[in-house]
């Protein structure tokens, strides 16, 4: 446990590139989980930063979609349905009902994290996606996907910091 009370794994400071990328990605995954820790479903659904629809529950659901998309759809070329979004509801990850719970959302998110780890395990950072998989025909290296995922989590963890502070006053790095 860190001095701030979280269970976040500190990234190694002298690791090789792959270990460093895995370390930072896991650190940011753990940071989002920490920002949600101890809150009930109603608190996790709150959108206190009007007019934004951002909520902690929505961020977790969004990151499940993002993990699935980049590691499995883009890098492995898997044809997978969206978890929460659709053409009719492109922001479905941020729109939920009372039936959508933290327990279910966290389970889906953690499953997608584990599947992302499996998708990248043993693969070279130089592995390049198939251009036909991306809607704009772009290709991405696994290195790029890792870097993007770290950036995506870091940006949304900044949102999570603000949300958590507005919900119950909790702050922390």
At 135-145, the pLDDT tens digits run: 788 899 999 99
Q: How many residues does the chain have?
A: 173
Q: Which two tokens stand for residue 153?
A: 């989590």
96 or 135, which is more confident? 96
Alpha carbon distance 29, 116 (integer Å): 12
pLDDT at res. 1 = 31
Find out whether 46 and 163 touch, Cβ atoms under 8 Å. yes
The one-character DSSP state at 68 is I
Where is average pLDDT lowest: 13-17, 118-122, 127-131? 127-131
Q: What is the mean predicted confidence (pLDDT) over 146-168?
A: 97
The burial of 161, by beta-carbon neighbours within 10 Å (0-12 exposed, 13-18 middle, 19 or more buried), is given as middle
Question: Is the model's pLDDT at 50 over the cut of 80?
Answer: yes
**Among 118-122, 127-131, 151-155, which is the least confidently predicted range?**
127-131
Bridge partners (DSSP) of residue 141 are 128
Asked whether 119 and 76 are in contact (CB, 8 A), the reply is yes
Q: What is the mean pLDDT of residues 154-164?
A: 97
| Separate counts of helices (H) and strands (E) for the chain | 5, 0
Most confident segment among 19-33, 84-98, 128-142: 19-33
Contacts of 5 (CB under 8 A, 6+ apart): 172
Angle of CA points 64, 10, 40, to nearest 5°:
45
**pLDDT at position 6:** 53
């Amino acid at each position: 446990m860190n001095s701030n009370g979280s269970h976040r794994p500190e990234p190694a400071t002298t690791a090789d590139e792959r270990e460093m990328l895995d370390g930072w990605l896991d650190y940011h995954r753990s940071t989002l989980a920490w920002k949600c820790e101890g809150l009930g479903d109603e608190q996790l659904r709150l959108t206190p930063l009007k007019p934004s629809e951002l909520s902690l529950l929505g961020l977790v659901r969004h990151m499940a979609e993002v993990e699935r998309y980049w590691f499995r759809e883009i890098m492995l070329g898997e044809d997978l349905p969206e978890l929460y979004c659709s053409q009719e509801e492109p922001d479905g990850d941020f729109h939920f009902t009372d039936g959508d719970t933290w327990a279910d959302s966290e389970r889906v998110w953690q499953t997608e994290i584990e599947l992302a780890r499996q998708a990248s395990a043993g693969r070279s950072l130089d592995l390049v996606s198939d251009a036909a998989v991306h809607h704009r025909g772009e290709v991405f290296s696994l290195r790029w996907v890792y870097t993007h995922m770290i950036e995506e989590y870091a940006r949304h963890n900044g949102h999570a910091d603000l949300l958590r502070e507005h919900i119950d006053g909790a702050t922390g790095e």
